[in-house]
Amino acid sequence: MSDVRVAGTGLTPFGNTPDRTGRDLFAEATIAAFEDSGVPREDVDAVFYGNFMGELAEHQGHQGPLMAEAAGVRAPATRYESACASAGTAVRDAVLQLRNGEIDVALVGGAERMTNLGTAGATEALAIAADDLWEVRAGATFPGAYALMARAYFEEYGGDRTDLAHVAVKNHENALTNEKAQYQSEISVDDVLEAPLVSEPLGLYDSCPLSDGAAALVLTSQEYADEHDLDAPVAITGSGQGGDRMALHGRAHLARTPAAREAGAEAYVDAGIEPSDVDLAEVHDCFTIAEVLALEALDLEPIGEGISAARDGRTTANGETPVNLSGGLKAKGHPVGATGASQIAEVAKLLSRDHPNSEHVEDARIGLAHNAGGTVASATVHVLEVTR
């Protein structure tokens, strides 16, 4: 079974660019990824593309071949849709095919155009990742759903809005040096607490923004990397995927995310590591409470203690296990179809010392990327390691 090497990464800036199309964004990301990799486009065997709301935002389905064309690639192409975990799912399938020897070179990534819909339109579009019959028709939105999860967490384990505010402050601080981040601005705990409430206990600064953007990865087999003498020191050594009931009312526990736990456990076994081996992580913080739940599901924090991780400095840039050094979804942005691939790109750059925040993790050798869909009804986890 072949190792999977991250040969190249490419990201557009994440932000508010309503006039740019999805194909335009993805083309930009792929240009950067191919330049970074040194792999010619004609060597690509397959394209794996993540996108969630293309039909609603651009009246465009069948995006796989469209995005292959935008990337200048002639190869079989498939679009993956798993809500906000679309690109993470695309990465997982690419990893499996590369390992199995079915292909040697994959172009993987995703894009999303969201801001052209406006806040109301994008909120409605995102809501279709929830259960239409039991949640959407009752007026539930994702801020409301995650607010329910936060309240359930506070009731069972303790914590309050101030604890969550430290998550937002940390991630905004991490984004200050990330030129691709949507928000490169410092905020304080007071800023978070004094901001308008979106859905109690979550306020404006507890929520990720609407974002446009794209991410691309050139992944290769180890054999291809060796044969072509690629500078690709980072490998994807672990991959996992988990699932859960769609609607919150059908779950046994609102303050835990079993899909992430399943995905993490599978990825750890696959990579042959323990959670304690992880040096840094990019986790899916669409809301501040989501980062807390992810830390506990991935066994990076004990159950009930993730709430204090940012406040006590354990997950800050200079902490024991830095989390979301990119700025996370919270500050870097969340173009949903691109997020999973962008997390892999950020981890790879951090591990290869090619990131503005690499100075905080100079000795890091193992990183983790956690991508979640909806209220974590779906999740993927990938382990990345430095191979030399």
Which residues have a catalytic role annotated?
84, 334
CA 68, CA 65: separation in Å to the nearest integer?
A: 5
What is the crossing angle of helices 288-297 and 142-157, to 10°? 60
- Torsion angle of C-alpha atoms 159, 161, 162, 166, degrees rounded to 10: 100
When computed from its CA atoms, the radius of gyration of the chain, rounded to whole angstroms, is: 19
CA atoms within 13 A on the CB side of 126: 31
201 preceded by cis ω (within 30°)?
yes
Please give the C-alpha separations between residue 288 and each of 35, 87, 170, 187, 281, in angstroms, as whole numbers: 35, 21, 10, 14, 15
Q: Under a CB-based contact definition with an 8 Å cutoff, are residues 14 and 113 in contact?
A: no
CA distance 124 to 107: 31
Phi, psi at 288, each rounded to 5°: -60, -35
Report the 10 Å Cβ neighbour count for 82: 27
For residue 36, give the amino acid letter: D
CA distance 198 to 124: 15
User: Which two structure tokens, joined as six digits, stand for 74?
Assistant: 């002639």
**Taking the alpha carbons of 341, 345, 348, 351 in that order, is the dihedral positive or negative?**
negative
